[in-house]
Chains A and B, each alone.
Chain A
Amino acid sequence: MNEPLLSVRDLEVAFPTRRATLTAVDRVSFDIAAGEVLGVVGESGAGKSLTGAAIIGLLEPPGRIVGGEVRLKGRRIDNLAPEEMRKVRGKRIGMVFQDPLTSLNPLYRVGDQIVETIRTHLRVSEAEARERAISLLQEVGIQGARARIDSYPHAFSGGMRQRVVLALALCAEPDLLIADEPTTALDVSIQAQIIALLKRLCRERGTAVMLITHDMGVIAETADRVAVMYAGRIAEIGPVRDVVQKPRHPYTRGLMGAIPTLGAEATRLVQIPGSMPRLSAIPRGCAFNPRCDSAFDRCRIEPPEGMGAGSSKVACWLYAETAEAETAGAETAGARA
């Protein structure tokens, strides 16, 4: 089995406060293979953005990684010195944020921002970097790139700005792109353009993508695999088809039923009672148990681990027996990996 491009093991992110330490990301583990698109989906407060920020080393203090490890091509990157991390960030891992206006400096021309990024990470001359920037802008679909390279960010529309940000994230040819809600601020018709562009660029370059979003529709059509997060933990992870069409975790099932779809005219949406717990009051055992209609005693005591063999894992005690039956096979597969 090939080594994954990115391997996250038991990642824990905590925020120390005066009263207690809040665990915002709790023992999260997943892999991303080269060229793969992993969707990370969850509601606000589920810890999906923090997971992304922890991987790329952009956690806002006082938040910090308190456990686990992150490996990029086998090399640990979660304990690098800030200077070392700067070289990884941008060069090996690119990042796209939700709001394209805040990720571009309004006082610099977009061309200068791209040229600066290229020259930080690659040894090329000023003129060469500029040529590269122009061809990149053309590639992300900006018409008249040669003329527009000297414009300021405010002269671009929201969709065009997100294209520039995408060019900026990909200009040093990173192995992994972390896209945090890249289309949330955009209109649907523009959103479709950006998603199609993101997919094409990453396929052409073999760039792996970690796509963080709350929009299950975007995940369904973009991702190869999807991880569903709830209260800082991964509830379910697996191939996108399985998770969308045959969700196993009660939370995922509720979430899928809660989304109004174009296909069927449902009279009533599935309703999950209550809301996501606060970080200061995460219930004992499975974090979802107070809202779960199939919870039993074990759920209230012991937090479930990811269960199931192969590519699909679900953190739910309902599947404990099937998991134990499969354990023998999974163990040997795990040992080989």
Chain B
Amino acid sequence: MTVAALVEAKDLTRVFDVSKPWLNRVIEGERKAYLKAVTGVSFAIGRRETVALVGESGSGKSTVARMTVGLLSPTAGSVSIDGIDMWASARSAERQQLRRRLQMIFQDPYASLNPRWRVDRIIADPIKAFGLAKDAAEISHRVGELLRLVGLDPADGAKYPHEFSGGQRQRICIARALSSNPEFIVCDEPTSALDVSVQAQILNLMRDLQDRLGLSYLFISHNLAVVRHMATRIGVMYLGRIVELAPASELFAAPRHPYTRLLMDALPDLGMTGRARRPIEGEIPNPIAPPPGCTFHPRCPWAFEPCSADVPQLAGPNGRATACHAVAAGRI
């Protein structure tokens, strides 16, 4: 890539300590237990670009989202925005400036809005926190502008969150995220809690806003069809690793990694009327004791000797990377 990326994540790793309490460990003679939620995840997001991470539950996609936005510190690796390292930067003023430029939209619009605050106060909070407006009049003007931007009425600011439907609440969440004039928004399953017709409204809104405000998105979802609709590039995650990273159109035209292939086969789709799909055998293994080598090999029909011994590295030509021994060896 010639143009410098806006967001760059390098070798992000996060380990959670899931040990039992000390006394239990001593009595039961157990060791400390660690869960590797994310291992060596790297990606870059350019300006006005949408990169999506897709995977099943437990694949670590939300953990990556939280690390990227700074809600969770990585065990190893780094996240930099516009060349400034989010965790290494010593000066807190610089970090705070950085935080203004990134925002997050959460999955559950019922849980992510304070039920005791009126909508205008919710949206004004980031404006006040970052000191982006001079006085109350300017704040209320800005809030009205934001509400109109997301398709609500400025008069809605006087209401409480419970007076809105799920789709409208998600619009409020988007307005709040936009209130600090961010360049980059992390969206963690923004439409999973919504009905399809409302989901279409929100997805269209997010694309319109991207065009108008020049936003970059990191879009987290378990729904491949939604991801295909939104993303320019897609990373497929399995058990804490990116197994395939490719431009959206190429990924859907010719998936390479066995997991991606099987996932697409397994997906119910409108075009599939009457056609049988091929389910992936088995289940996601326990992340506390993942299988050796490639973590997908127990479920993989193409697995051969090196798969159970070595961890495959993400590699491939011009932005089309796959972490698979069988693909590297030209077997599939």
Contact = CB atoms under 8 A, between A and B. Distances in A.
A43 B201 CA distance: 14
Interface residues of B, number: 45
A104 B13 CA distance: 37
Contacts of A241: 273-274
B195 A216 contact: no
A271 B200 contact: yes
Interface string A185-227: 0011111110110000000000000000011111011000000
A261 interface: yes
Interface stretch (A86-94, A111-119, A251-259): A251-259
A44 B228 CA distance: 24
Interface of B: 56-57, 165, 167, 195-201, 203-204, 207, 222-226, 228-229, 248-249, 252, 262-264, 266-281, 283-284
A262 B200 contact: no
Given A190-B283, A220-B269, A275-B198, A260 B277 contact: no
A63 B262 CA distance: 43
B266 A269 contact: no
Given A214-B195, A214-B196, A272-B197, A221 B279 contact: no
Interface string A28-59: 00000000000000011000000000000000
A332 to B, nearest CB: 31
A184 B271 CA distance: 20
Contacts, number: 138
> Dominant SS at the B interface?
helix
Given A188-B56, A265-B229, A245 B283 contact: no
A244 B273 CA distance: 8
A262 B267 contact: yes
A4 interface: no
Contact of A220 (B248, B266, B268): B268
Contacts of B281: 193
Given A214-B196, A271-B200, A271-B201, A244 B222 contact: no
Contact of A216 (B57, B196, B226): B196
A192 B196 contact: no
Contacts of B225: 217, 259-262
A192 B277 contact: yes
Contact of B270 (A189, A190, A261): A261
A196 B249 contact: no
A193 B197 contact: no
